[in-house]
A and B are shown apart, each in its own frame.
Chain A
Amino acid sequence: MPNLRDIKRRIKSVKNTQQITKAMKLVSASKLRKAQEAIMSARPYALKLMDVLHHLSARCNHDVHPLLDNRDGKRWLILLVTADRGLCGGFNGNITKKAIQVINDNSDKEIQLITAGKKGHASFKNKENKILHDHSGWTRDFDYLKAAEIGSTLSALFSEKSIDRVYVLYNEFKSVMQQEVILEQLLPIVPEKLVAGKESMSSVDYIYEPEEEAILNTLLERYMTVEVYRAFLESSASEHGARMTAMDSATRNAGEMIGGLTLTYNKARQAYITKELIEIVNGAEALKA
Protein backbone atom coordinates (compact mmCIF):
# COMPACT_ATOMS: atom_id res chain seq x y z
CA MET A 1 0.00 0.00 0.00
CA PRO A 2 1.55 3.33 -1.04
CA ASN A 3 2.39 5.80 1.62
CA LEU A 4 -0.39 8.31 2.30
CA ARG A 5 1.92 11.28 2.59
CA ASP A 6 3.64 10.45 -0.71
CA ILE A 7 0.36 10.41 -2.58
CA LYS A 8 -0.68 13.67 -1.04
CA ARG A 9 2.60 15.26 -2.09
CA ARG A 10 2.15 13.92 -5.59
CA ILE A 11 -1.37 15.36 -5.88
CA LYS A 12 -0.13 18.71 -4.76
CA SER A 13 2.64 18.80 -7.32
CA VAL A 14 0.32 17.79 -10.17
CA LYS A 15 -2.10 20.48 -9.04
CA ASN A 16 0.67 23.06 -9.26
CA THR A 17 1.55 21.93 -12.76
CA GLN A 18 -2.06 22.09 -13.75
CA GLN A 19 -2.26 25.63 -12.51
CA ILE A 20 0.72 26.59 -14.62
CA THR A 21 -0.59 24.97 -17.76
CA LYS A 22 -3.95 26.57 -17.21
CA ALA A 23 -2.38 30.00 -16.87
CA MET A 24 -0.26 29.43 -19.96
CA LYS A 25 -3.35 28.45 -21.86
CA LEU A 26 -5.11 31.66 -20.90
CA VAL A 27 -2.08 33.76 -21.76
CA SER A 28 -1.79 32.07 -25.13
CA ALA A 29 -5.46 32.58 -25.79
CA SER A 30 -5.19 36.32 -25.33
CA LYS A 31 -1.95 36.51 -27.29
CA LEU A 32 -3.56 34.46 -30.01
CA ARG A 33 -6.35 36.95 -30.33
CA LYS A 34 -3.83 39.74 -30.79
CA ALA A 35 -1.76 37.77 -33.27
CA GLN A 36 -4.84 36.81 -35.19
CA GLU A 37 -5.90 40.43 -35.39
CA ALA A 38 -2.44 41.40 -36.63
CA ILE A 39 -2.50 38.87 -39.42
CA MET A 40 -6.03 39.83 -40.38
CA SER A 41 -5.11 43.49 -40.65
CA ALA A 42 -1.93 42.70 -42.56
CA ARG A 43 -3.75 40.71 -45.19
CA PRO A 44 -5.57 43.58 -46.96
CA TYR A 45 -2.29 45.40 -47.45
CA ALA A 46 -0.60 42.32 -48.85
CA LEU A 47 -3.54 41.65 -51.16
CA LYS A 48 -3.66 45.19 -52.52
CA LEU A 49 0.08 45.23 -52.98
CA MET A 50 -0.22 42.01 -54.95
CA ASP A 51 -2.93 43.60 -57.08
CA VAL A 52 -0.70 46.50 -57.99
CA LEU A 53 2.18 44.13 -58.69
CA HIS A 54 -0.05 42.05 -60.94
CA HIS A 55 -0.88 44.73 -63.40
CA LEU A 56 2.52 46.32 -63.23
CA SER A 57 4.40 43.13 -63.92
CA ALA A 58 2.03 42.36 -66.78
CA ARG A 59 3.32 45.47 -68.53
CA CYS A 60 6.99 45.32 -67.66
CA ASN A 61 9.90 43.36 -68.95
CA HIS A 62 10.72 40.73 -66.34
CA ASP A 63 14.43 40.55 -67.07
CA VAL A 64 15.11 44.04 -65.88
CA HIS A 65 15.11 43.59 -62.14
CA PRO A 66 17.78 41.67 -60.20
CA LEU A 67 15.18 40.17 -57.87
CA LEU A 68 13.48 38.49 -60.82
CA ASP A 69 16.68 36.89 -62.08
CA ASN A 70 15.92 33.17 -62.25
CA ARG A 71 19.35 31.54 -62.29
CA ASP A 72 20.35 27.95 -61.70
CA GLY A 73 22.61 28.06 -58.74
CA LYS A 74 23.24 25.66 -55.96
CA ARG A 75 23.55 28.08 -53.11
CA TRP A 76 20.25 28.12 -51.37
CA LEU A 77 19.13 30.00 -48.34
CA ILE A 78 16.30 29.04 -46.06
CA LEU A 79 14.70 31.48 -43.69
CA LEU A 80 13.51 29.27 -40.89
CA VAL A 81 10.80 30.79 -38.75
CA THR A 82 10.28 29.02 -35.43
CA ALA A 83 9.28 30.04 -31.94
CA ASP A 84 11.52 31.28 -29.16
CA ARG A 85 9.86 29.09 -26.62
CA GLY A 86 8.78 25.52 -26.38
CA LEU A 87 5.74 23.91 -24.76
CA CYS A 88 3.67 24.30 -27.88
CA GLY A 89 3.16 20.76 -29.07
CA GLY A 90 4.63 19.81 -32.40
CA PHE A 91 5.03 23.39 -33.54
CA ASN A 92 8.82 23.57 -33.54
CA GLY A 93 9.36 19.88 -34.16
CA ASN A 94 7.33 19.82 -37.35
CA ILE A 95 9.12 22.71 -38.89
CA THR A 96 12.57 21.43 -38.00
CA LYS A 97 11.68 18.04 -39.39
CA LYS A 98 10.59 19.63 -42.63
CA ALA A 99 13.81 21.66 -42.80
CA ILE A 100 15.91 18.54 -42.35
CA GLN A 101 13.87 16.79 -45.01
CA VAL A 102 14.41 19.63 -47.48
CA ILE A 103 18.12 19.63 -46.75
CA ASN A 104 18.38 15.87 -47.26
CA ASP A 105 16.33 15.93 -50.45
CA ASN A 106 18.62 18.54 -51.93
CA SER A 107 21.97 17.21 -50.83
CA ASP A 108 23.57 18.46 -54.04
CA LYS A 109 22.84 22.04 -53.01
CA GLU A 110 24.73 24.19 -50.58
CA ILE A 111 22.09 25.21 -48.12
CA GLN A 112 22.55 28.00 -45.63
CA LEU A 113 20.11 29.12 -43.03
CA ILE A 114 18.84 32.25 -41.43
CA THR A 115 17.01 31.32 -38.28
CA ALA A 116 14.41 33.30 -36.46
CA GLY A 117 13.45 31.93 -33.09
CA LYS A 118 15.65 30.18 -30.55
CA LYS A 119 14.26 26.74 -31.17
CA GLY A 120 15.25 26.64 -34.82
CA HIS A 121 18.67 27.98 -33.99
CA ALA A 122 19.19 25.38 -31.27
CA SER A 123 18.36 22.50 -33.60
CA PHE A 124 20.77 23.60 -36.30
CA LYS A 125 23.70 25.19 -34.55
CA ASN A 126 25.52 21.87 -34.27
CA LYS A 127 24.78 20.74 -37.80
CA GLU A 128 26.95 21.35 -40.81
CA ASN A 129 24.65 23.86 -42.47
CA LYS A 130 25.93 27.32 -41.98
CA ILE A 131 23.71 29.74 -40.11
CA LEU A 132 24.20 33.14 -41.70
CA HIS A 133 22.19 35.17 -39.24
CA ASP A 134 20.29 34.38 -36.14
CA HIS A 135 17.30 36.42 -35.12
CA SER A 136 16.52 34.73 -31.84
CA GLY A 137 14.18 36.68 -29.64
CA TRP A 138 12.66 38.53 -32.55
CA THR A 139 9.39 36.74 -32.67
CA ARG A 140 8.02 38.39 -29.58
CA ASP A 141 7.93 42.06 -30.56
CA PHE A 142 8.05 41.61 -34.24
CA ASP A 143 7.13 44.62 -36.32
CA TYR A 144 7.29 45.88 -39.85
CA LEU A 145 10.69 47.52 -39.39
CA LYS A 146 12.29 44.23 -38.43
CA ALA A 147 10.68 42.58 -41.43
CA ALA A 148 12.15 45.34 -43.58
CA GLU A 149 15.58 44.63 -42.15
CA ILE A 150 15.39 40.92 -42.94
CA GLY A 151 13.83 41.66 -46.31
CA SER A 152 16.61 43.99 -47.36
CA THR A 153 19.29 41.60 -46.11
CA LEU A 154 17.78 38.88 -48.25
CA SER A 155 17.48 41.03 -51.35
CA ALA A 156 21.02 42.29 -50.91
CA LEU A 157 22.43 38.76 -50.65
CA PHE A 158 20.46 37.76 -53.69
CA SER A 159 21.35 40.79 -55.81
CA GLU A 160 25.07 40.45 -55.16
CA LYS A 161 24.73 36.83 -56.27
CA SER A 162 26.09 35.20 -53.15
CA ILE A 163 22.80 33.31 -52.92
CA ASP A 164 20.87 31.86 -55.83
CA ARG A 165 17.58 31.03 -54.27
CA VAL A 166 15.75 31.98 -51.10
CA TYR A 167 13.02 30.04 -49.39
CA VAL A 168 11.02 30.77 -46.31
CA LEU A 169 9.82 27.95 -44.09
CA TYR A 170 7.08 28.73 -41.61
CA ASN A 171 3.89 27.52 -40.00
CA GLU A 172 0.82 28.88 -41.69
CA PHE A 173 -2.12 29.70 -39.49
CA LYS A 174 -5.08 27.64 -40.68
CA SER A 175 -7.14 27.66 -37.54
CA VAL A 176 -6.53 27.59 -33.82
CA MET A 177 -6.17 23.82 -33.85
CA GLN A 178 -4.38 23.54 -37.13
CA GLN A 179 -1.07 24.73 -38.52
CA GLU A 180 0.53 23.80 -41.75
CA VAL A 181 4.23 23.87 -42.49
CA ILE A 182 4.77 25.90 -45.65
CA LEU A 183 7.87 26.13 -47.79
CA GLU A 184 7.67 29.14 -50.04
CA GLN A 185 10.06 30.48 -52.61
CA LEU A 186 10.84 34.10 -51.88
CA LEU A 187 13.55 34.83 -54.41
CA PRO A 188 13.74 34.98 -57.32
CA ILE A 189 10.21 36.29 -57.38
CA VAL A 190 8.23 34.11 -59.74
CA PRO A 191 6.52 36.24 -62.38
CA GLU A 192 3.90 33.55 -63.14
CA LYS A 193 2.78 33.77 -59.57
CA LEU A 194 2.42 37.50 -59.91
CA VAL A 195 0.60 37.46 -63.23
CA ALA A 196 -1.76 34.55 -62.54
CA GLY A 197 -5.43 35.54 -62.59
CA LYS A 198 -5.93 39.27 -63.02
CA GLU A 199 -5.61 39.62 -66.83
CA SER A 200 -8.48 42.04 -66.98
CA MET A 201 -6.72 44.62 -64.85
CA SER A 202 -3.83 45.11 -67.22
CA SER A 203 -6.16 46.43 -69.90
CA VAL A 204 -6.76 49.63 -67.91
CA ASP A 205 -4.57 52.40 -69.21
CA TYR A 206 -2.79 53.93 -66.27
CA ILE A 207 -0.82 57.07 -65.88
CA TYR A 208 2.44 56.15 -64.20
CA GLU A 209 4.44 58.49 -62.08
CA PRO A 210 7.39 57.81 -62.24
CA GLU A 211 7.54 55.32 -65.14
CA GLU A 212 6.56 51.65 -64.75
CA GLU A 213 10.04 50.22 -64.18
CA ALA A 214 10.86 52.64 -61.39
CA ILE A 215 7.64 51.81 -59.56
CA LEU A 216 8.16 48.10 -60.10
CA ASN A 217 11.64 48.31 -58.61
CA THR A 218 10.52 49.83 -55.36
CA LEU A 219 7.44 47.64 -55.31
CA LEU A 220 9.42 44.41 -55.57
CA GLU A 221 11.54 45.30 -52.58
CA ARG A 222 8.47 46.13 -50.60
CA TYR A 223 6.85 42.90 -51.69
CA MET A 224 9.78 41.02 -50.12
CA THR A 225 9.32 42.82 -46.83
CA VAL A 226 5.61 42.18 -46.82
CA GLU A 227 6.12 38.49 -47.50
CA VAL A 228 8.61 38.21 -44.64
CA TYR A 229 6.29 40.16 -42.38
CA ARG A 230 3.38 37.93 -43.27
CA ALA A 231 5.40 34.77 -42.66
CA PHE A 232 6.30 36.00 -39.19
CA LEU A 233 2.75 36.95 -38.34
CA GLU A 234 1.44 33.62 -39.58
CA SER A 235 4.05 31.87 -37.52
CA SER A 236 3.28 33.83 -34.39
CA ALA A 237 -0.45 33.23 -34.66
CA SER A 238 0.22 29.52 -35.23
CA GLU A 239 2.57 29.39 -32.28
CA HIS A 240 0.00 30.76 -29.89
CA GLY A 241 -2.67 28.52 -31.34
CA ALA A 242 -0.43 25.48 -30.96
CA ARG A 243 0.52 26.41 -27.43
CA MET A 244 -3.07 26.98 -26.46
CA THR A 245 -4.10 23.57 -27.74
CA ALA A 246 -1.12 21.87 -26.14
CA MET A 247 -1.72 23.53 -22.79
CA ASP A 248 -5.40 22.75 -22.96
CA SER A 249 -4.77 19.06 -23.29
CA ALA A 250 -2.04 19.23 -20.66
CA THR A 251 -4.52 20.80 -18.25
CA ARG A 252 -7.03 18.08 -19.03
CA ASN A 253 -4.44 15.34 -18.56
CA ALA A 254 -3.40 16.81 -15.23
CA GLY A 255 -7.04 16.81 -14.19
CA GLU A 256 -7.35 13.13 -15.04
CA MET A 257 -4.18 12.36 -13.14
CA ILE A 258 -5.42 14.21 -10.06
CA GLY A 259 -8.65 12.21 -10.24
CA GLY A 260 -6.75 8.92 -10.33
CA LEU A 261 -4.42 9.92 -7.55
CA THR A 262 -7.26 11.11 -5.34
CA LEU A 263 -8.94 7.76 -5.77
CA THR A 264 -5.80 5.91 -4.73
CA TYR A 265 -5.37 8.29 -1.83
CA ASN A 266 -8.92 7.69 -0.58
CA LYS A 267 -8.55 3.95 -0.94
CA ALA A 268 -5.32 4.00 1.01
CA ARG A 269 -6.88 6.17 3.68
CA GLN A 270 -9.87 3.84 3.96
CA ALA A 271 -7.58 0.83 4.27
CA TYR A 272 -5.60 2.62 6.95
CA ILE A 273 -8.73 3.46 8.95
CA THR A 274 -10.04 -0.09 8.63
CA LYS A 275 -6.73 -1.47 9.79
CA GLU A 276 -6.72 0.86 12.78
CA LEU A 277 -10.30 -0.11 13.70
CA ILE A 278 -9.49 -3.79 13.57
CA GLU A 279 -6.52 -3.21 15.85
CA ILE A 280 -8.65 -1.33 18.37
CA VAL A 281 -11.39 -3.96 18.32
CA ASN A 282 -8.85 -6.72 18.66
CA GLY A 283 -7.21 -4.93 21.54
CA ALA A 284 -10.56 -4.50 23.32
CA GLU A 285 -11.42 -8.15 22.77
CA ALA A 286 -8.07 -9.17 24.20
CA LEU A 287 -8.67 -7.05 27.33
CA LYS A 288 -12.15 -8.51 27.85
CA ALA A 289 -10.88 -12.05 27.62
Chain B
Amino acid sequence: MAENKLQLSIVTPERFVLNEDVDQVNVPGVEGDLGILYDHAPILTTIRAGRFSYELLGEKGRETIQMIVSGGYLEVTDNRVIVLAEAVEFLDEVDNDRARASLAKAEEALAKTDLSDDEFAEAQDRLFRAIARLEPTQMD
Protein backbone atom coordinates (compact mmCIF):
# COMPACT_ATOMS: atom_id res chain seq x y z
CA MET B 1 0.00 0.00 0.00
CA ALA B 2 1.97 2.94 -1.29
CA GLU B 3 -0.73 5.58 -0.78
CA ASN B 4 -0.66 7.91 2.18
CA LYS B 5 2.99 7.17 2.77
CA LEU B 6 5.85 9.53 3.20
CA GLN B 7 8.92 8.90 1.13
CA LEU B 8 11.82 9.24 3.53
CA SER B 9 15.42 9.58 2.40
CA ILE B 10 18.34 10.08 4.72
CA VAL B 11 21.72 11.09 3.38
CA THR B 12 24.98 11.93 5.11
CA PRO B 13 28.20 13.11 3.49
CA GLU B 14 29.61 9.63 3.86
CA ARG B 15 26.75 7.45 2.72
CA PHE B 16 23.24 7.23 1.41
CA VAL B 17 21.61 5.79 4.47
CA LEU B 18 18.08 4.96 3.52
CA ASN B 19 15.22 5.52 1.11
CA GLU B 20 11.94 4.09 2.28
CA ASP B 21 8.18 4.63 2.42
CA VAL B 22 7.11 5.32 5.98
CA ASP B 23 4.05 6.52 7.89
CA GLN B 24 5.49 8.92 10.40
CA VAL B 25 8.78 10.67 10.99
CA ASN B 26 9.82 12.11 14.35
CA VAL B 27 12.59 14.67 14.26
CA PRO B 28 14.41 16.69 16.90
CA GLY B 29 14.11 20.20 15.42
CA VAL B 30 16.14 23.08 16.85
CA GLU B 31 12.98 24.70 18.08
CA GLY B 32 11.29 21.59 19.33
CA ASP B 33 10.51 18.07 18.24
CA LEU B 34 8.40 17.55 15.17
CA GLY B 35 6.16 14.72 14.11
CA ILE B 36 5.68 14.60 10.35
CA LEU B 37 2.62 12.84 8.97
CA TYR B 38 1.16 12.48 5.50
CA ASP B 39 0.26 15.77 3.78
CA HIS B 40 2.47 17.86 5.99
CA ALA B 41 2.98 21.45 4.81
CA PRO B 42 6.35 22.15 3.15
CA ILE B 43 8.89 22.85 5.84
CA LEU B 44 12.59 23.43 6.09
CA THR B 45 14.22 23.19 9.46
CA THR B 46 17.55 22.74 11.16
CA ILE B 47 17.77 19.70 13.37
CA ARG B 48 19.77 19.34 16.53
CA ALA B 49 21.65 16.32 17.75
CA GLY B 50 19.20 13.85 19.15
CA ARG B 51 16.99 10.89 18.62
CA PHE B 52 15.35 10.45 15.29
CA SER B 53 12.76 7.84 14.48
CA TYR B 54 10.35 6.76 11.82
CA GLU B 55 7.31 4.56 12.07
CA LEU B 56 5.88 1.93 9.81
CA LEU B 57 2.31 0.69 10.01
CA GLY B 58 2.48 -2.93 9.04
CA GLU B 59 0.06 -5.80 9.35
CA LYS B 60 1.57 -6.67 12.70
CA GLY B 61 0.96 -3.18 14.00
CA ARG B 62 3.24 -0.24 14.50
CA GLU B 63 6.96 -0.63 14.11
CA THR B 64 9.33 2.12 15.20
CA ILE B 65 12.91 2.37 14.01
CA GLN B 66 15.14 4.66 15.99
CA MET B 67 18.48 6.23 15.29
CA ILE B 68 20.75 8.99 16.45
CA VAL B 69 21.40 12.01 14.27
CA SER B 70 24.00 14.64 14.99
CA GLY B 71 22.62 17.79 13.48
CA GLY B 72 21.58 18.63 9.95
CA TYR B 73 18.54 19.68 7.96
CA LEU B 74 15.11 18.38 7.25
CA GLU B 75 13.04 19.27 4.25
CA VAL B 76 9.48 18.21 3.51
CA THR B 77 7.83 18.81 0.13
CA ASP B 78 5.02 16.85 -1.50
CA ASN B 79 5.27 14.05 1.04
CA ARG B 80 8.95 13.64 0.39
CA VAL B 81 11.03 13.90 3.52
CA ILE B 82 14.71 14.55 3.03
CA VAL B 83 17.08 14.42 5.96
CA LEU B 84 20.54 15.87 5.45
CA ALA B 85 22.41 14.71 8.51
CA GLU B 86 26.01 15.18 9.55
CA ALA B 87 26.10 11.62 10.80
CA VAL B 88 23.59 8.90 11.54
CA GLU B 89 23.90 5.91 13.84
CA PHE B 90 21.37 3.14 14.26
CA LEU B 91 20.65 2.31 17.85
CA ASP B 92 22.52 -0.98 17.83
CA GLU B 93 25.66 0.78 16.62
CA VAL B 94 25.89 2.96 19.69
CA ASP B 95 28.94 2.53 21.89
CA ASN B 96 27.69 3.05 25.42
CA ASP B 97 31.03 3.54 27.10
CA ARG B 98 32.06 6.16 24.64
CA ALA B 99 28.76 7.95 25.01
CA ARG B 100 29.07 7.95 28.78
CA ALA B 101 32.60 9.32 28.62
CA SER B 102 31.49 12.03 26.26
CA LEU B 103 28.56 12.90 28.52
CA ALA B 104 30.91 13.34 31.46
CA LYS B 105 33.20 15.50 29.37
CA ALA B 106 30.35 17.69 28.21
CA GLU B 107 29.01 18.16 31.73
CA GLU B 108 32.45 19.06 32.93
CA ALA B 109 32.81 21.62 30.16
CA LEU B 110 29.42 23.13 30.85
CA ALA B 111 30.20 23.47 34.55
CA LYS B 112 32.83 26.07 33.76
CA THR B 113 31.67 29.66 33.88
CA ASP B 114 34.14 31.29 31.55
CA LEU B 115 32.96 29.71 28.30
CA SER B 116 32.71 31.70 25.11
CA ASP B 117 29.49 31.41 23.10
CA ASP B 118 31.08 29.04 20.61
CA GLU B 119 32.53 26.81 23.27
CA PHE B 120 29.21 26.73 25.02
CA ALA B 121 27.36 25.79 21.84
CA GLU B 122 29.87 23.04 21.16
CA ALA B 123 29.63 21.60 24.66
CA GLN B 124 25.86 21.77 24.53
CA ASP B 125 25.84 19.98 21.22
CA ARG B 126 28.03 17.28 22.66
CA LEU B 127 25.74 16.95 25.65
CA PHE B 128 22.67 16.56 23.43
CA ARG B 129 24.38 13.88 21.43
CA ALA B 130 25.52 11.95 24.49
CA ILE B 131 22.08 12.11 26.07
CA ALA B 132 20.45 10.97 22.86
CA ARG B 133 22.75 7.97 22.72
CA LEU B 134 22.22 6.96 26.32
CA GLU B 135 18.50 7.58 26.67
CA PRO B 136 17.21 4.43 25.00
CA THR B 137 19.40 2.03 26.93
CA GLN B 138 18.26 3.51 30.20
CA MET B 139 14.68 3.06 29.19
CA ASP B 140 15.09 -0.60 28.37
Contacts and interface: CB of A to CB of B under 8 A. Distances in A.
A210 B75 CA distance: 13
A203 to B, nearest CB: 11
Interface residues of B, number: 22
Interface in A135-162: 143-144, 147
A218 B45 CA distance: 11
A235 to B, nearest CB: 16
What is the interface of chain B mostly: helix, strand, loop, or mixed?
strand
Contacts, number: 64
A41 B10 CA distance: 12
A196 interface: no
B55 to A, nearest CB: 21
Interface of B: 11-16, 29-31, 41-46, 73, 75, 77, 82, 84, 86-87
Contact of B46 (A46, A144, A209): A209
A232 to B, nearest CB: 11
A52 B42 contact: no
Interface in A199-221: 204-210, 214-215, 218-219
B36 to A, nearest CB: 11
Given A56-B44, A210-B31, A215 B13 contact: no
Contacts of B75: 52
Interface of A: 38, 41-42, 44-46, 48-49, 52, 56, 143-144, 147, 204-210, 214-215, 218-219, 226, 229
A210 B84 contact: no
B44 A207 contact: yes
B30 A229 contact: no
